[in-house]
Amino acid sequence: MASQLSFTPITDFSLPSEKFPKPPQRIPIFSHLPLNSCSGYHCFKNISSSIRLSVCHAVKEQEVIQSINSDSTQNSQIDPPACSKFVLVVGGTGGVGQLVVASLLTRNIRSCLLLRDPEKATTLFGKQDEEKLNVWKGDTRNPGDLDPSIFEGITHVICCTGTTAFPSRRWDGDNTPERVDWEGVRNLVSSLPSSLKRIVLVSSVGVTKFNELPWSVMNLFGVLKYKKMGEDFVRNSGLPFTIIRPGRLTDGPYTSYDLNTLLKATAGERRAVVVGQGDKLVGEVSRLVVAEACIQALDIEFTEGEVYEINSVQGEGPGSDPQKWRELFKAAQVQ
């Protein structure tokens, strides 16, 4: 059954005359086709009787197990396969998003992606059982792409969408900060069921100071202003939320790699994590650390309703140890 929509009235938000003009395309990932036997395109063509798209084989179980032992996950506590979470990742092909998805897969957490180009999931995440990962085609700028059926059963959302702060090819088709960081976030949040247990939004440091130097330079095309508007919409949505504001992102994006490469990614020397509140932090943060912070925040009850800035610096970090992350988030709140 479709989840209930909880649209918040928005004065400047023009919905299409027909709310969901096309049925949403759910594109779960088949698990029985070898990588070299098909491109994503051919998989689409060959399975015409189904709306399901195959994402081709790229990962061997043994390699995943080895990767779990890599230094990026050395302290990890892997959830049991029967985990009750069902996490929607929006922006799962991006630098942070890829790492979030790879990490959810190694933890055996059931996940779902909303992507503009589902074939990217084929390249990045390889063969996956549809019980573990499925993919919907959608653009957050289009409310019509956000059919309630996409959100059925979703318990948690991690939103790491974004575009470049300055004009670039990534703005093609009007994919600007205003459209993605404001309208896209607004559309997504407006579509989420009220039963959601948590939405984690990746925003940015500096959003509260976009009129002040040096942030005003970064904000020349409005990226910080629009991210703040997206944040405020999340905050006022009534949904349980956590906002993560990274400093300048390092490590990655690991574009054009497959899941094995993602799982072997490490934060290099920058593993020690600094968490703050009040938009005072200035610095850099590894994308791996941001991805881990998003996943950890889902389970730490006192991060609900909170906003954190996050940096990473040289030194030993918390890895995936939930207790260490609890301490980091808690320490930020009492400062």
Q: Point out which residues bind ligand NAP (CB under 6 A).
A: 91, 93-97, 116-117, 120, 139-141, 160-163, 175, 180, 184, 202, 204, 246, 248-249, 253, 287
Nearer to ligand NAP, 148 or 183 (CB): 183
Nearer to ligand NAP, 52 or 120 (CB): 120
CB of 1 to ligand NAP, least distance (A): 25
- Pick from 92, 120, 112, 63: nearest CA to 263: 63
- Three-state DSSP class for 90? strand
Nearer to ligand NAP, 72 or 93 (CB): 93
Which residue shows structure tokens 């050395």? 74
Nearer to ligand NAP, 24 or 162 (CB): 162
Nearer to ligand NAP, 93 or 103 (CB): 93
Nearer to ligand NAP, 28 or 138 (CB): 138
- Three-state DSSP class for 26? strand
Q: Quote the CA–CA distance of 243 and 310 in Å, as a whole number.
A: 10
CB of 181 to ligand NAP, least distance (A): 7
Structure-block tokens of residue 51: 């709306």
CB of 222 to ligand NAP, least distance (A): 12
CB of 20 to ligand NAP, least distance (A): 16
Run of H or E residues at 20: none
Which residue shows structure tokens 């600094």? 274
Q: What backbone torsions phi and psi does residue 250 show, to the nearest 5 degrees?
A: -120, 170
Tell me, rounded to whole angstroms, the distance of Cα 109 from its chain centroid: 14
- Pick from 331, 261, 200: nearest CA to 72: 261
The identity of residue 240, as a single letter, is P
Q: Quote the CA–CA distance of 129 and 125 in Å, as a whole number.
A: 11
Q: Quote the CA–CA distance of 245 and 189 in Å, as a whole number.
A: 18
CB of 245 to ligand NAP, least distance (A): 7
Question: Which residue, judged by CB position, is nearest to ligand NAP in the bound state?
Answer: 94
CB of 263 to ligand NAP, least distance (A): 17
CB of 327 to ligand NAP, least distance (A): 24
Nearer to ligand NAP, 83 or 282 (CB): 282
Q: Quote the CA–CA distance of 115 and 311 in Å, as a whole number.
A: 27
- Three-state DSSP class for 39? coil
